[in-house]
Structure 1
Amino acid sequence: MNKYCFGVDIGGTTVKIGLFTTDGTIVDKWEIKTSKEDGGSRILSDVSESLSEKMQEKGITKDEIEGIGIGVPGPVDDKGTVLTCVNLGWGTFNVAEEVTRLTGITNVKAGNDANVAALGEMWLGGGKGYSDMIMITLGTGVGGGVIHNGKIITGTKGAAGEIGHMLVNYEEEDPCNCGRKGCLEQYASATGIVKVAKRLLAKSEEESTIRDKENLSAKMIFDAAKEGDKIATECVEELGWYLGVACANIAAVVEPDVYVIGGGVSKAGVILLDVIQRHYEKYAFHAHKDKEFKLAELGNDAGIVGAAKLVIN
């Protein structure tokens, strides 16, 4: 095995890049702008140029590079083909083959960014020491990744792990961003939590420290719940119910060892883990009840760490 590898996490605004040793040590990390002009045609060329510049700077040759792993915000099959990536302007093409053509490095692998982040958490983060793991990322939306026997489950079209679009409320009348109604993302994302809180406030005359708050946020709701605010606590309980039921249903199919909760909402900490686990244990099949719930540890580095792991056996 060669000494170094690159992990690349392509986002809608910036591309995060990490240079790693093959034992997982970060040698360097940096960002470049995501050039979405002309249907994102320059993105991979810009990445290739940036990798080349870093190799020159560090005095590293191609022979010392084990490979390049890439995470992208869209479905990716197990051959490295992106199946349309709206946020970047990409259609269907093989990312791995294109990066090989641009860099001359043959060991290139690509994956969906949420799945890749899950792989990173399994390798060096909250899921370290486990080989079967579910990661749920609670941010603007709800993302997910499924790891089985240390490998990403991609699905036949690269769209496995879309946990945020599990149907959890058959009676919801408002549409999700995906066009359906009642998706987990509508309740467990940062925006979803605020929406739930506003519904509860509208139905109740209870005094609450979050009532009439300008720019109400998920953080405000969790902070109020920690102080005993009744409406905020009810909101957190509802969030925990949806996530607990979702995790119980996931366990019935893949039965992971551990659930790792990440994203901005996970900064709420133990209060979030506790409410999810309590509802999970209530609804899980008896053989699935004894599972770990942990917070993600890698933050914004999860993507580059997981991308690097794609090319390290």
Structure 2
Amino acid sequence: MKKYCFGIDVGGTTVKMGLFTTEGELLDKWEIPTRKEDGGAYILNDVAASVEAKLAEKNIAKEDVAGAGIGVPGPTLDTGYVSICVNLGWKDKNPANELSELLSIPVKAGNDANVAALGEMWKGGGEGYLDVVLLTLGTGVGGGIIINGEIAPSHRGVGGELGHITVNPDEEATCNCGNHGCLEQYASATGVVRIAKKLLAASKEESSLRTLETVTAKDVFDAAKAGDHLAVEAVEVLGKYLGLVVANVALTVDPDVFVIGGGVSKAGQVLIDVITKYYHKFAKIIGDNKAKVVLAKLGNDAGIYGAARMVLK
């Protein structure tokens, strides 16, 4: 009976790593730098060395390890192949196969957002459900779709790219993906600020936001919670676009629960309430038995939990 597994979440700055029991208890977690030199050629070797060191430290035999999962920031096929990971410098790579060869244990790979969704389903905000959609609102907007306890199949590796659903085809500004009017342009941390600044520029209405040298997403939500009318309006705009996407995804996937994570989710219940309001407005056909909208629970650990879960069937 295998006793342990590893969860690995590769980011552009650090690689987060976790040692788990096969029941899902996190025994240890740590980080190593992501060395992106030479097209990211050192990343997997560094990960393998760190795993080997942890096995030696904990006196764990390879025979007791079920395997390792690895989440990577790019479109990932079921085979573990990634055509490109821009933030790592990887091209035409199969990190699952390469890491498995380095460690001599089974390894599975997945897109980092989908992997985080799996983690939230397993031990986070979606625990107890098998059909879960995660929206991560951070520097960008990511998404992950879990159906019947597994990452939804993605034949081209772009399944769950909810941040690039078009919500405003009349938008003139360009998204980082090259499109116009993506959800990410409104629901990311920079998107929230962008909405607020547009409202400030279009109105002479008094607002506490005008007194700030720089405005952050937290400032906008704090001002809204304090009753600042303009900040409340900015949150409403954000909620409308998020609620629209949640409604459309609900009408396509019909999950049990939507989990909202990422830095912007630290706004808390005010964010959940405004998303739910517009979700219910745009998805009337579902009736009263709509999926819940809840906050994520695992924070930055969602990726390592999900990565570990990938190897535990």
In which range does the TM-score fall when normalised by the shorter chain?
Answer: over 0.9
**Does structure 2 conserve the Cα–Cα contact (< 8 Å) formed by 1:154 and 1:161?**
no
The two structures, once aligned, show a CA RMSD in angstroms of 0.9
Deviation at 1:287, TM superposition (A): 2.1
Equivalent residue letter for 1:185: E
Q: Deviations over 1:101-149 (max 9, x none)?
A: 11111x2100000110010000000000010011000001000000100
Q: 1:178-257, aligned counterparts within 5 Å?
A: 178-257=177-256
Q: Deviations over 1:144-163 (max 9, x none)?
A: 00010011014112111000
- Tell which deviates more after alignment, 258-267 or 278-287: 278-287
Task: Look up the match of 1:259.
Answer: 258
Aligned counterparts of 2:77 and 2:256: Cα–Cα separation in 1: 25
Q: Tell me, which stretches of 5 or more residues in structure 1 are unaligned?
A: none
Aligned counterparts of 1:83 and 1:250: Cα–Cα separation in 2: 26
Name the TM-score, length of structure 1 as normaliser. 0.98
Deviation at 1:94, TM superposition (A): 1.4
Equivalent residue letter for 1:3: K
Q: Tell me, which stretches of 5 or more residues in structure 2 are unaligned?
A: none
The runs of at least 4 aligned residues of structure 1 exceeding 2 Å deviation read none
Deviation at 1:288, TM superposition (A): 5.9
Task: Look up the match of 1:304.
Answer: 304
Task: Look up the match of 1:19.
Answer: 19
Quote the sequence identity (%): 60
Q: How many residues align?
A: 312
Aligned counterparts of 1:291 and 1:146: Cα–Cα separation in 2: 14
Aligned counterparts of 1:143 and 1:230: Cα–Cα separation in 2: 29
**Does structure 2 conserve the Cα–Cα contact (< 8 Å) formed by 1:252 and 1:288?**
no
Q: Given the alignment of the two structures, is residue 137 of structure 1 paired with residue 136 of structure 2, yes or no? A: yes
Task: Look up the match of 2:112.
Answer: 113
Equivalent residue letter for 1:270: Q
Name the TM-score, length of structure 2 as normaliser. 0.98
Secondary structure in structure 2 of the residue aligned to 1:136: strand
Q: Deviations over 1:260-309 (max 9, x none)?
A: 00000000000000000011001114226522010000011100000000
Secondary structure in structure 2 of the residue aligned to 1:215: coil
Task: Look up the match of 1:70.
Answer: 70
Describe the shift of the 1:83–1:285 C-alpha distance in structure 2 as closer, same or farther (beyond 3 A).
Answer: farther
**Does structure 2 conserve the Cα–Cα contact (< 8 Å) formed by 1:118 and 1:306?**
yes
Equivalent residue letter for 1:64: D
**Does structure 2 conserve the Cα–Cα contact (< 8 Å) formed by 1:83 and 1:157?**
no
Secondary structure in structure 1 of the residue aligned to 2:210: coil
Deviation at 1:55, TM superposition (A): 0.3
Q: 1:287-302, aligned counterparts within 5 Å?
A: 287=286, 290-302=290-302
Secondary structure in structure 1 of the residue aligned to 2:122: helix
Equivalent residue letter for 2:126: G
Secondary structure in structure 2 of the residue aligned to 1:88: coil
Deviation at 1:212, TM superposition (A): 4.3
Task: Look up the match of 1:83.
Answer: 83
Aligned counterparts of 1:71 and 1:160: Cα–Cα separation in 2: 15
Aligned counterparts of 1:308 and 1:301: Cα–Cα separation in 2: 11
